[in-house]
Chains A and B, each alone.
Chain A
Amino acid sequence: MRRAIPSARELLDRWNAYWFPMSSSLNLAGARIVTVAFAMLVSFPSLRYNINLAVKNSAFSDPQILIRAVEAIVPRHLLFTARGLTLVYGISMIAGVMALVGYFTRTALMVFALGFAFFVSHVYSYADVHHREAPMAFFLFALALAPAGDSLSLDALLRRRRARRDGRPDEPVRQTDIAMWPLRFIQVVLAITYFSTGITKVIAGGLRWMNGYTLQNYIFITAVNRDIPLGFWLSHQHTLCILLAIGTLGFELFYFLSLPFPRLGPPFFLGGILFHVSLYYTAGHPFFEHMLLNAILLLFLDRDWFPTQVQRVRAALPRRAEPRPAGAVS
């Protein structure tokens, strides 16, 4: 007879099977390139804005954990100046470029992730905190702890060159069991954050959150504040607002189902992208990081899809001529 309660060994096996399945290192490499490029071009807090905050405030009103830790080591008047912040920003950007091309990838990713967390924490140390960068920061740190530079990187190129020189077998793409966990990790983080947002609506607002008036209020407020024509139009559509409120709650409360039922993943990821795009165009909420992370999951969480695409591209490219043996004549 089968035991109802799994043993510790079985639980451990299940844990390992979930977080550490065999996969190609290409998925994580693709996620690294897209995420770092996006973070550098879109998400990284502006240096000008950071300097403005630092020089116009003599103290932090609500210092974040990381800023408190940094300030305990380096005094505010030394680091939180135009020169100090520019230096940290420069180091972070150099690390970002190295992480993007995959040169000393792990170190570069860790420095870039720390720089990102530092500047976001600094912006949020003056009595105003937003949510949008938090999952992105978790993902950057996870990438730094994983073999994200094993493929599609200068590190991989140099490794292969060394292998050829030493006469060892060439490995353009590795199969490994430690390259999927960052993707699954960020899926769980997104599921927690969406569920948390949804359940607080249910607890604080109850079913009344879906009465249409609530969404009309929120959309009208942002439409006026940010002058969004589509928002003005939508705030007049009561029935549509009821449907959108139901859709919003449904999406937020049930996103987590994509964890036990992987087939539900792509519809939820695609839904997530559309949800944040529509939020941006109707209410101006710039949750670009959530769009990106859902797109990353859509492209790279499936273990086979991206490696197959890379294989197809490689097959379509003209092959390089094999090196001719010494002494051969044409």
Chain B
Amino acid sequence: MKYKTGVSVFIILVLALHALPVLSYQGVRQTRWPFLAWAMYAKSYPPGPIVVTIRRIFGVSTDGRRREVTPYLVGLSGPAFRNTYLLPLENGDSAVARRLANTVNREGRDIMAQLRLETTQYRLVDSGVVVDTAPPVTFPVTPAQ
């Protein structure tokens, strides 16, 4: 009987705690795993153009070599990398470019002297997909001393 009471408390507690992320919503930066708000893909889209933007960042080393700066290289996941670096760089934030270059240069393999943000847009049309490539945005960076 003691065991069943303990299990019942466990069940009620775990199920009740699922209300916590709903009652105290944290947005996308949730810190109560495994008790999460399950608001996934909830936004709806009206009829209209369907466009996806892919952003990639490349580092150009002092001797001219080019290397993609990936989320793994800086120790982040894809979405966190996009929010921390790609979106601010797209808005021209040079301070973020310096911070990213310093992070990459700490690795010490190639010293990056320049970061290039390359943006490609994919547009869904009836006949297929139209690809538009924007001119790259470059951020000169001074290697940290």
A residues engaging B (CB < 8 A)? 15-16, 19-20, 49, 52-53, 55-57, 61-66, 117, 120-121, 123-129, 131, 133-135, 137-138, 142, 145-146, 178, 181, 185, 188-189, 192-193, 196-197, 200-201, 203-206, 208-209, 211, 213-214, 216-218, 220-221, 224-225, 232, 235-236
A129 with B29: CB separation less than 8 A = yes
Q: Is the interface of A mostly helix, strand, loop or mixed?
A: helix
- Chain A residues near B15 (CB, 8 Å)? 188-189, 192
Q: Can you pick out 15 interface pairs between chain A and chain B where the beta carbons lie within 8 Å of each other?
A: A53-B75, A57-B75, A125-B31, A127-B29, A128-B80, A135-B34, A188-B11, A189-B18, A200-B39, A205-B43, A206-B44, A224-B54, A232-B129, A235-B50, A236-B124
Give residues 22-49 of B contacting A (CB, 8 Å): 22, 28-48
Chain A residues within an 8 Å CB radius of B91: none
Q: What residues on A are CB-neighbors of B39 within 8 Å?
A: 196-197, 200, 204
Whole-angstrom CA separation of A142 from B78 in the bound complex = 32
Which residue of B4, B35, B38, B78 has the most chain A CB atoms within 10 A of its CB atom?
B38
Q: Given the known A-B contacts A178-B7, A200-B39, A221-B52, are A124 and B33 also in contact in the complex, defined by CB atoms under 8 Å?
A: yes
Judge whether B137 is part of the interface by a CB distance below 8 angstroms: no
A236→B123 CA distance, assembly (Å): 11
Judged by a CB distance under 8 angstroms, whether B83 is at the interface is: yes
B133 within 8 A of A: no
- Total A-B Cβ pairs within 8 A: 155
Q: A127-B80, A131-B40 are in contact. Are A211 and B47 (CB under 8 A)?
A: yes
Query: How many interface residues does B have (CB within 8 Å)?
Result: 50
Q: State A218–B72 Cα separation when bound (angstroms).
A: 25
Report chain A residues within 8 Å CB of B46: 208, 211, 213
Question: Across the two chains, which residue of chain B brings its CB closest to A207?
Answer: B44
User: When chains A and B are docked, how far (Å) is the Cα of A205 from the Cα of B80?
Assistant: 25
Residues of B within 8 A of A134 (CB): 33-36
Assembled-state Cα–Cα distance A131/B11 (Å): 20
How far apart sit A213 and B47, CA to CA, in the bound complex (Å)? 6
B36 adjacent to A129 (CB under 8 Å): yes
Question: Of A126, A211, A224, which is within 8 A of B77 by CB?
Answer: A126
Determine if B8 is an interface residue (Cβ-Cβ < 8 Å).
Answer: yes
B10 touches A225 (CB 8 A): no
Residues of B within 8 A of A232 (CB): 129
B75 touches A211 (CB 8 A): no
Chain A residue at minimal CB-CB distance from B76: A126
Q: Nearest CB to that of A137 among chain B residues?
A: B34
Q: Are A62 and B44 in contact (CB under 8 A)?
A: no
Q: Which residues of A contact B41 (CB under 8 A)?
A: 201, 218
